[in-house]
Amino acid sequence: MLKKILYLSALCLFAIGTHAEASTIGPSCPSCFGSTYTLTYTATGTPNVFDINLAVDTTGYTGASTNLLNAASLKIVSQSSQITSISLLTPPSGFSGTIDGGVNASGCSGSGGGYFCSGSSGNGLQVGQAGDIYNFDWQVTVANPSDFLTGADLASVKVLYVNSQGSQAGITSENITLDPGTSVVPEPSSFVLLGTGLLGAAGLVRRKLFA
């Protein structure tokens, strides 16, 4: 009984600390070029603030081996004004900053309602080789969580690939699902309180078993 309680306690702590939802498209969608795109949200301790991750796995990229990933863009709300702030927390090498808008042949376009975009300061990143998986982590504050485009395939992802001279080699433009949750990632104090309570319960059971 004691071992069972401790095991369940560990599972609870793990589940609470890793709450997230994800949606993956590719590699065979019409404009995926053999890459896969995974969109993940994680709620934070602030109700209107979410961490948004786009993982672009280009290991199966079917374009030229010299092509590069130049820019990535998401649409998770219908209008840009519904996002009150956004920052690129941990960009891939060579990427910095975020602007409103999607992508076009020149990179981040600066236009397109609801889109935000991060581009490379150079031509971009190698694709089609083992380990060519790139994570874009944005922290997004929305006016209201209900502004998120929920439901199957209501969000959108755009990614620009260029050749070695920086000219367009293809643009991924696909719908993708975003399912923002309502659970928040607990503050450290919450973990302490939960852990203390569960361990206390385990101690009580142990005392009863050996009384």
- Residue 150 has what pLDDT? 83
Tell me the mean pLDDT in the region 133-160.
95
Q: What is the pLDDT of residues 95-136, one digit of tens each?
A: 999 999 999 999 999 998 899 999 999 999 999 999 999 999
Question: What is the residue extent of each domain of the chain?
Answer: 1-19+185-211, 21-181
Query: In the chain, what percentage of residues exceed pLDDT 70?
Result: 75
Task: Tell me the CATH class for 21-181.
Answer: mainly beta
Q: What is the pLDDT of residues 173-182, one digit of tens each?
A: 999 999 775 4
Pull the structure tokens for residue 39.
């969109």
- pLDDT at 12 exceeding the cut of 60: no
Residues 6+ apart with CB under 8 A from 117: 71, 72, 73, 98, 99, 100, 101, 102, 103, 107, 108, 109, 158
Q: Are 26 and 58 in contact, with CB atoms under 8 Å apart? A: no
Query: In the chain, what percentage of residues exceed pLDDT 90?
Result: 69
pTM, entire model: 0.77
